[in-house]
Structure 1
C-alpha cells in the first residue's frame, strides 16, 4: 500500500511496454484508492477513473440453498446464457461466440458457468465463478439478472449459488467487484452474505 520502493517498481513496470507487463496504447491498472502506486502513476499522466467496491464472503461454513433451480452451463446453452447476460447490462454485446472464447481459455479449467431458471424454466440470471485452487480466493464475475426479471431475488439467488459452487471447488472465500455508483449491485451482493470492504479505482493510460 505505502511501500515506496515497491510502488515505484510497479509504476515503472506497467508504464514501460518493454517490461512485458502491459502493451503499448490504452491500458488500465486497478488498485486501492490510497495505494502509493496511484499517486506515482498520476504524476506520469495516468487518469483516475470511477471507484469500485470490493465485497467478500467467507466460505469456511456451508452455504445455504439459494432456493432456485441452478444449472452448470455447458456449450449447448452458450447462446441462451449470453442472451441473459446481454439483457443484464446496457450496451452489452456479449454473444455465444464470446462465451465459447471464454470457456476455451486456460483459466476456465477452474471455473463454472451458472444459470438460474424461474418456475417456468426460463433462464433469468447468470454468473461465472473463477476458482484459483484449494484454500484460495474465488471470484464471481460477471453476474447479471435479465432486466425483465429484476426485483424478484434472482440476483441474490445466483450470488448464493456462486458461493456454493466456489466452496465445492475448494475456495476459501468469494470476492466481487462492482462500480460503487451501482448501488443496486452492491445491495444485491450484500443481501447474499457478502461484506462490503474497501473501494478501489481504475487508473488508465490512453497512449
Structure 2
C-alpha cells in the first residue's frame, strides 16, 4: 500500500505520542522528541493536533512531523525506515508541494534526523542548509550533583513566576499563565517538570522545563531561561544541573538539549553542567 499523510484528530493524539515515545533511543540520531510536542501544547490540544502530521503505510505510523510555526517542519521517522525510499519520496513530495497542505510556498525549513534519505532527496531537489544547531547530551547513569542554588518544582502558586521568568528570558516569548495551564493539562506534562531557581534574596532568577519520554529513554530540556540581569552568575548552569537531576528521577537515561550553534554562551552553560557536544545538525532550507 502507498504511504498516506494524515492530520491526526484530538482523539488520535495519544496513539501518535505513544509512537513517538517508542522511537526515542540514546543510540538514535537526535530527533523530534515528545517534549517538543509537550512544549507546543501550551497553545492547546486543538492547535497541537492541527500542527501535527503523520505518514502511515498499512496502518502503521512511519513518520511524525510537527509544524513549529508556518514555515518549519520538525520531522522524524521510525528507526527502521530512515532509508525507506517510498517513504522518503512521499515525504519530499508532501513538503515541496504547497497543495499537499504541509508547508507553504517560499522560504521553508525541514528538520530531520541526520542520515535519513529524505535529507538526501531534499538536497537533490536543490534545498540548501540553514544555520547549524548544536545538540548536547548528559548521561544520567550516575547520580547528579547538587545544583548549588534553591530550586523548586513549579506548583499552582508559582505559575506567574514561571511565566514571568520565560517572558523576561526571551524577548519574543508569549508564555502566559493561561498557556502554562494548557501545557500542564496536556498528557505529556505528567512526565515533565517545571523548575524555578531563586537567588539568596528569594527572587526567581530563571526557569527550566524538562520532559521525560519514559524510563530508559533520553529526556529533553525545552526550554531554559535566565533573567537578563541575573546572567553571568552561574544560575543557568545550576538550573541545568537541577533539570538533569529531575530527569534522572523520572527514569531518563540521558538529558538532551539543542541550541543554535551561534549561542556560544548557551553552549558553554550546558557544557559546564556536564553535557557533551554532539555533531552539529543542519536543517534543510528552501530559499524563498
- Asked if Structure 1 and Structure 2 have the same fold, meaning a TM-score greater than 0.5 normalized by the shorter chain, the answer is yes
**Aligned counterpart for 2:269 among listed residues 180, 184, 188:** 188
Match of 1:75? 156
**Structure 2: distance between partners of 1:14 and 1:101:** 33
1:30-41 matches, cutoff 5 A:
30-32=111-113, 35-41=116-122
Which residue of structure 2 lines up, in the alignment, with residue 10 of structure 1? 88
* 1:102–1:148 CA distance, 2 compared to 1 (3 A): same
Say whether 1:92 aligns with 2:173. Answer: yes
Aligned length: 202
Aligned to 2:231: 150
Residues 190 and 7 of structure 1: is their aligned pair in 2 closer, same or farther, counting only changes over 3 Å? farther
1:5-53 per-position Cα deviation (integer Å, ceiling 9, x unaligned): 4266235236427xxxx95235753235665432312344656322110
Q: Quick one: higher RCO (CA 8 Å, sep 6+), 1 or 2? A: 1
Aligned to 1:101: 182
2:275 and 2:199 map into 1 onto residues whose CA distance is 23
**SS of alignment partner, residue 90 of structure 1:** coil
- Secondary structure of the corresponding residue to residue 280 of structure 2: strand
Select the structure that is richer in strand: 1
User: Unaligned stretches of 5+ in structure 1?
Assistant: none
| More deviation, 102-111/142-151 | 102-111
Q: CA deviation at 1:76?
A: 2.8
RMSD: 2.6
Q: Structure 2 CA distance, aligned partners of 1:106 and 1:201? A: 30
TM-score, normalised via structure 2 length: 0.63
